[in-house]
Amino acid sequence: MSWIFYSLIAIGIVGISDIFRKLASNLKDPFFTNLVFQLSATTFTIITYFIFSRKVENNPKDIVFAILGGITIAAFSLFSFKALSTGPGASVVIPVLRIGGIALLVVLGIVVLKEKLSLQTFIGLIFSSIGIYLLFSNK
């Protein structure tokens, strides 16, 4: 199957996940909320690994990158719970987090990964910035 098919599934799942993230942000301690969130994610990951894969790869460098990616997504979750519990609402906070993350990723891709800055990418960054501005200017 095409990467776009899997991307559409992931988009649907992240949208649903963000609804649950907002509902869970009513818990008082974002560290506890993040702990429950990450333990649930880990449990799901272990179950799906044993059902679908059971392969072990011997590529230490990429395993370290996966570990660092996991740590950063856990940190993202922690701060997103805090933002959701103190911010104006999921309809503003989540798009700002997602659009801001995408914009940062584009910049880091250009600077760190030496990807090309196309006109399309530049226009996308401009529209992303306008979108974040519009979300904030309404509040």
Contact 37, 21 (CB under 8 A): yes
pLDDT at residue 27, rounded to an integer:
92
pLDDT at residue 54, rounded to an integer:
93
- pTM comes to 0.83
Amino acid at 67: I
Amino acid at 34: N
Q: How many helical (H) and strand (E) elements, i.e. helices and strands, does the chain have?
A: 5, 0
pLDDT at residue 132, rounded to an integer:
87
Q: Which residues of the chain have pLDDT under 70?
A: 138-139
Amino acid at 70: G
SS (H, E, C) 45-94: HHHHHHHHCCCCCCCHHHHHHHHHHHHHHHHHHHHHHHHHHHCCCHHHHH
Which tokens in the block code for residue 130? 């306008």
pLDDT at residue 139, rounded to an integer:
58
d(CA 132, CA 51): 40
